[in-house]
Amino acid sequence: ASTLKEAAAAKGIVFGTAAAQSHMGESAYVSTLNREFNQLTPENEMKWETTEPSRNSFNYGAADQLVGHAQSQGMAVRGHTLVWHSQLPDWVEGISSRTELLDVMRNHISNVAGHFRGDIDYWDVVNEAFQDGSGARRDTVFQRVIGDDYIEEAFRAARAADPGAELCYNDYNIDGRNAKSDAVYAMVQDFKRRGVPIDCVGLQAHLIVGSLPGDIQANIQRFADLGVNVYITELDIRMQTPPNSQKLAQQASDYRAVTSACVAVAACKGITVWGVTDKYSWVPDVFEGEGAALLFDDDYNKKPAYDATLEAL
Ligand code: XIL
């Protein structure tokens, strides 16, 4: 195969990317997106601050455009994300009654997942609900005001709104085995036992060149053994900039390792990179001095990591 999507399809998985509607006027961006990827995740367009900026007033313009583009190209769509503490409007942060916030959360999910019903292959229902370094829940307005059961209530509301979508829990630093991924594992195990509707786990995989967890495949396998699918949902592997040939070679080896770990486990059904090109990656904005984390450089040239990923598929 000569493209990522063809090689992935031959393995029975999807290979996707985050994409932003604001770049869809750029021909090199769109041609690379269409040529290489068969799954699209709106990078920001389905987040709460965009879809429900004020209470019960919904905005789907940019997300609808991205979904339409994906459909025109035969791409699967990952909905991202229904419940998250970040990019959350102030009016939600200000709610202090459990009944009211549960009602607001359910209303958000039924409207957003209902609007896209039938068009979404997988929803990131809840994003980043656990803290790093421990198994504790992250302190968010949902956790404080509703309590532990906000996550299962979100999954129940999502199932009711779009019974055809796979429903995922998504987080970062859960790519290998550690206290945080142990806590997610325990939650998924509990949900499966009690019949809470969950179908998949998303490992974001925002990684660092030369320091990957060594047990990604074993971690994917243990989730698979619970009876859920696993997706690598936001893959990027950052380095100190500027890149050089040695760092790019290590990055290639790291992309190969992540791709191989997914391909080796039947329940790992897709890999999504967090952007088409280094030019528009979120990394330099958030991690000072770091970047060059994706498969295509600023000029849409294939990097060594591209070739390694293609070979590993
Ligand atoms: C990031 C986007 O890439 C940026 O454009 C935005 O400014 C902030 O959010 N984990 C997630 C994604 O689940 O939604 C985040 O995306 C990256 C970290």
pLDDT category, 188, cuts 50, 70, 90? very high
Please name the residue whose Cα sits nearest to atom 5 of ligand 1.
282
Which pTM does this prediction carry? 0.98
The rounded Å distance from CA 193 to ligand 1 centre is 32
Predicted complex ipTM? 0.99
pLDDT number for residue 54 = 98
Q: pLDDT, tens digit, for every residue of 42-91?
A: 999 999 999 999 999 999 999 999 999 999 999 999 999 999 999 999 99
Q: pLDDT, tens digit, for every residue of 228-279?
A: 999 999 999 999 999 999 999 999 999 999 999 999 999 999 999 999 999 9
Tell me the pLDDT of the chain averaged across its residues.
Answer: 98
**What distance separates the 2 farthest-apart alpha carbons in the chain?**
56
- Please report, for the domain that includes residue 14, its CATH number: 3.20.20.80
pLDDT number for residue 91 = 98
Residue tagged active-site, from 234, 288, 290, 311: 234
Whose CA is closest to 184, among 238, 212, 223, 236? 223
pLDDT category, 109, cuts 50, 70, 90? very high
The rounded Å distance from CA 286 to ligand 1 centre is 10
Pocket test for ligand 1, best of 274, 279, 283 (most atoms within 8 A of CB): 274
195: left (phi over 0), alpha (psi -120 to 50) or beta: left
Please name the residue whose Cα sits nearest to atom 7 of ligand 1.
282
Percent of the chain with pLDDT over 90: 99
Mean pLDDT of 281-296: 98
- Give the Cα separation of 203 and 218 in Å (integer): 13
The rounded Å distance from CA 248 to ligand 1 centre is 24
Q: Is 93 a catalytic residue?
A: no
pLDDT category, 17, cuts 50, 70, 90? very high
Q: Which residue type does 149 have?
A: D
The total domain count for the chain is 1
- Give the Cα separation of 32 and 252 in Å (integer): 19
The rounded Å distance from CA 282 to ligand 1 centre is 7
Please name the residue whose Cα sits nearest to atom 4 of ligand 1.
282
User: Can you tell me which atom of ligand 1 is nearest the CA of 274?
Assistant: 3
The rounded Å distance from CA 178 to ligand 1 centre is 23
Pocket test for ligand 1, best of 45, 83, 86 (most atoms within 8 A of CB): 86
Pocket of ligand 1 from Cβ distances under 6 Å: 43-44, 127, 204, 234, 282
Q: pLDDT, tens digit, for every residue of 127-152?
A: 999 999 999 999 999 999 999 999 99
Percent of the chain with pLDDT over 70: 100
Beta strands in 241-277 (DSSP E): 268-273
- Angle among Cα 236, 174, 283 to the nearest 5 degrees reads 25
User: Can you tell me which atom of ligand 1 is nearest the CA of 20?
Assistant: 5
User: Can you tell me which atom of ligand 1 is nearest the CA of 285?
Assistant: 7
Cα dist from 183 to 99, 130, 178, 188, 234, whole Å: 26, 8, 9, 9, 20
- For 305, the domain range is 4-312
pLDDT number for residue 261 = 98
Cα-flanking dihedrals φ and ψ of residue 40, to 5°?
Answer: -130, 135
